[in-house]
């Protein structure tokens, strides 16, 4: 080792490196509320909120403090968004889900009267759709991170600190526990329960419940360990 070279000893180098990057380089630009955003007078907006151009905020939306909503986001229906949450461009939150029953051989839409409750420190990526509940609420708990191009169906619940990668589809009434990792392009079928700390591998099609800590891969998904 060169005598004049400084060094830092770390038990978790990647984590400490990321923390240093946040300290020196990451500066979230809060531009306030754009004059080109359309915000209903019935909406509740917290302190230090940023809302980008062309975003639409409906009358029953409640937004917490320090929230960043980027451009071209649409939020409708009864939606509550916790503090320090980031919603990236072109996402839609609160639209009605895809749920039909047949009436004399014609599909009749099932009305969606549920809410969406989004916790604190949540990230929602670009071009992501989160449908409101049909009867039950959609619940996204604290510290959940959702990537771009993700579909979240009606009545879904996602536990704390879970990560959902790009291109994944979470069908209606799915229950995802805390600390789960859902890799890119995963499809979780309607009503499946994914328990805490599970990992669903890239491209998996998950049709059955997943136990705690399981690693599932394939189509149909099978337990790897």
DSSP the chain: --TT------SSHHHHHHHHHHHHT-------B-TT-EE-TT-EE-TT-EE-TT-EE-TTEEE-TT-EE-TT-EE-SSEEE-TT-EE-TT-EEEE----EEEETTEEEE------EEE-TT-EE-TT-EEEPPSSSPEEE-TT-EE-SS-EE-TT-EE-TT-EE-TT-EE-TT-EE-TT-EE-TT-EE-TT-EE-TT-EE-TT-EE-S-B-TT-EEETTTTEE--
22 a catalytic residue: no
User: Which of 22, 36, 112, 154 is an active site residue?
Assistant: 154
> Which residues have a catalytic role annotated?
154
């Amino acid at each position: 080792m060169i005598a004049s070279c400084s060094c830092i000893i770390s038990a978790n180098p990647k984590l400490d490196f990321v923390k240093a990057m946040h300290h020196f380089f990451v500066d979230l630009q809060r531009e306030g509320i754009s004059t080109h955003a359309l915000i209903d007078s019935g909406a509740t907006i917290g302190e230090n909120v940023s809302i980008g151009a062309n975003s639409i905020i409906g009358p029953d939306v409640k937004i917490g403090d320090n929230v960043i909503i980027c451009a071209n986001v649409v939020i409708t229906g009864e939606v509550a968004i916790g503090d320090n949450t980031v919603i990236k461009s072109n996402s839609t939150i609160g639209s009605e889900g895809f749920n039909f029953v047949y009436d004399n051989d014609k599909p009749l839409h099932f009305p969606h009267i549920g809410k969406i409750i989004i916790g604190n420190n949540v990230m929602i990526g670009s071009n992501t759709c989160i449908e409101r509940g049909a009867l039950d609420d959609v619940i996204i708990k604290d510290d959940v991170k959702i990537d771009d191009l993700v579909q979240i169906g009606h009545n879904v619940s996602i536990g704390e600190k879970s990560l959902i990668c790009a291109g994944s589809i979470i069908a209606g009434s799915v229950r995802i526990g805390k600390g789960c990792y859902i890799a890119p392009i995963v499809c979780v079928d309607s009503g499946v329960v994914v328990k805490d700390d599970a990992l669903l591998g890239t491209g998996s099609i998950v049709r059955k419940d997943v136990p705690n800590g399981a690693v599932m891969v394939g189509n149909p998904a099978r337990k790897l360990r």
